[in-house]
Structure 1
Amino acid sequence: MPITFENVGIAVRDLDAAIAFFTDLGLAVVGRDTVSGEWADTAVGLDGNHARIAVLRTPDGHGELELFEYLHPKAIETEPTQPHEIGMHRVAFSVDDLDEALAVAARHGCHPLRGVATYRDVYRLTYVRGPSGILVMLAQDLTKG
């Protein structure tokens, strides 16, 4: 059975703020909608499901994020995910210039959790806490360039 990766879905507190963060990093909005109705209730498993959504795509066309801002039921605030917790961990992006990406993230109040690391002279990478507490890994391939 062939299988194709579609996207990663992330519930956010403020859809517009999340869109601003990810588009500033270089993703493009490919669609926005408001979803609700019986089909949405069935698909998601929530009665009265009503959400604003946006789909964003990486410039290479291979990765997508689907962001949701729940209107109903009311979104449940949780503690931000820690790097060692079981479950959805992080979303990762390769960038050409890590310092430039970190400057973009900083404009949104998002900074490295601890600092920037170098892995075997192959990658410079870090985790930042993005909008709505999303863990975002940014990595620069040092072997390119």
Structure 2
Amino acid sequence: MSIRLENVGIAVRNLEETIAFFTDLGLTVLGRDEVSGSWADTAVGLDGNHARIALLATPDRLGRIELFEYIHPEALETAPTLPHEIGMHRVCFQVDDIDAALEIAAHHGCLPLRGVANYQDVYRLAYVHGPSGIILMLSEDLRADHSG
């Protein structure tokens, strides 16, 4: 049996704001749709499932996220996720310039949880609360050849 990661799905409060955030960071919208019907109810496990969705990809098209904004049932607000909570933890993107990425995030009102950390002069890392409370980790590889 073969397996590969297709995408990470994230429910969001406002689809357009979240798309703007991720496209400003460099992702590309691959497609949009509005989904509903019995197939969607079965696939997701919610009766009356109806959502607007967008699929975004990193420039190499290997990393993909699917964003969905629920029309029905009404989306449930939750407290922002903390790094030590069990369950969906974070989405990580490697960037060439973490300071530039953090400026883009700040433009969207999304700030680091604490700051930028240096891991053994190999990576600079920062956790950011993104749109809808999404925890996003930004990682900058400090090695000259970026192999590893």
Q: Shorter-chain-normalised TM-score: which range?
A: over 0.9
CA deviation after TM superposition for structure 1 residue 16, in Å: 0.2
TM-score if structure 2 supplies the norm length? 0.97
Distance 1:123 1:62 in 2: 21
Aligned to 1:29: 29
Unaligned 5+ residue runs, structure 1?
none
Deviations 1:12-63 (A, max 9, x none): 0000000000000000000000000000001101000000000000001110
Distance 1:144 1:72 in 2: 48
Distance 1:9 1:44 in 2: 11
Aligned to 1:47: 47
Alignment of 1:1-145 (within 5 A): 1-144=1-144
- SS of the residue corresponding to residue 39 of structure 2 reads helix
CA deviation after TM superposition for structure 1 residue 144, in Å: 3.0
Distance 2:59 2:48 in 1: 34
State the number of aligned residues. 145
> Structure 1: which 4+ aligned runs deviate by more than 6 Å?
none
RMSD across aligned positions (CA): 0.7
Residue type of the alignment partner of 1:71: I
Unaligned 5+ residue runs, structure 2?
none
